[in-house]
Structure 1
């Protein structure tokens, strides 16, 4: 499956969905994929599909049957919420998988953009900002700093000073 075909699949899977600020959801997954593109087409594919198992009827088996590479499906499975698990447990689990870590770093970077957060009420904005900062500490500690910087330069350059501080 090509990157363009995976993009079309993500577009169909998320059709009609919007994010917390009312933007078509596919724009989020495309932004995550753009940040991962310098690291290879399979990571960009994982970025496009990172929420498909969580937020659509698609299953991992259906993705494989559609021709999505196994490496991509494994990364998507790794970033997918498990019922009953806490967010902190999810981040620690993701941090054990190098591909999933990079996907989650790109997702976190996009979710942390000031322009996206500005659309939220103050309480959820502050709660999510703290949650995302905490996740970055775990994820960035296990990732290659050059790869993290490459993602941030595309997805959320405002986080670059935080990377160099840590």
Structure 2
């Protein structure tokens, strides 16, 4: 089995040269997602590091398996990967069928929803994404334990903590 350091290095290589919507090296996003999952064990941290690898790089789920990534981690990555032609709302509902994938997507959503990241986006895009992420949280959070959500948010986006109780 791969170590966390090896999986982090794999994610770093896979996302080399990529930047996110605000121009930050993409690997910073997957590391932030992974950090929010540390309380749930190494397999969820690995899934956080790899959650966008199949979607945004040349890597496939089979290549991840061949590289020694545990089957459960690959299954979580596969669960959160966009499928061409699948509407976002349907993807979110599908993710909630797997409790671990739900936690990974909650961490991803929380990082994507950070005000400091959104502030760099054009106003129209910022408002559209905020609405999309807010609706996704409604579905994702209904499928997870509030304490688990809070554990993730405390690390990834503490500003969202007030939404748990409202």
Q: Point out where structure 2 has 5 or more consecutive residues left out of the alignment.
A: none
Deviation at 1:71, TM superposition (A): 0.8
Q: How many Å separate the matches in 2 of 1:80 and 1:27? A: 18
Q: How many Å separate the matches in 1 of 2:97 and 2:124? A: 31
Give the 3-state SS of the residue equivalent to 2:36 in structure 1: helix
Deviation at 1:43, TM superposition (A): 0.2
Q: Point out where structure 1 has 5 or more consecutive residues left out of the alignment.
A: none
Aligned equivalent of 2:23: 22
Cα deviation per residue 1:115-161 (whole Å; 9 max; x = unaligned)?
00001000000000000000000000010111110000000000000
Deviation at 1:164, TM superposition (A): 1.3
Aligned equivalent of 1:117: 118
Cα deviation per residue 1:1-42 (whole Å; 9 max; x = unaligned)?
111100000000000000000000000000000000111110
Q: How many Å separate the matches in 2 of 1:94 and 1:159? A: 20
Q: How many Å separate the matches in 1 of 2:149 and 2:75? A: 20
Q: How many Å separate the matches in 2 of 1:51 and 1:104? A: 11
Q: How many Å separate the matches in 2 of 1:142 and 1:94? A: 10
Q: Are 1:102 and 2:103 matched, yes or no?
A: yes
Q: How many Å separate the matches in 2 of 1:41 and 1:96? A: 21
Q: How many Å separate the matches in 2 of 1:104 and 1:49? A: 12
Q: How many Å separate the matches in 1 of 2:41 and 2:52? A: 19
How many equivalent pairs are there? 165
Aligned equivalent of 1:93: 94
Which runs of structure 1 show a deviation greater than 3 angstroms over 4 or more consecutive aligned residues?
Answer: none
Give the 3-state SS of the residue equivalent to 1:54 in structure 2: helix
Aligned equivalent of 1:129: 130
Aligned equivalent of 1:53: 54
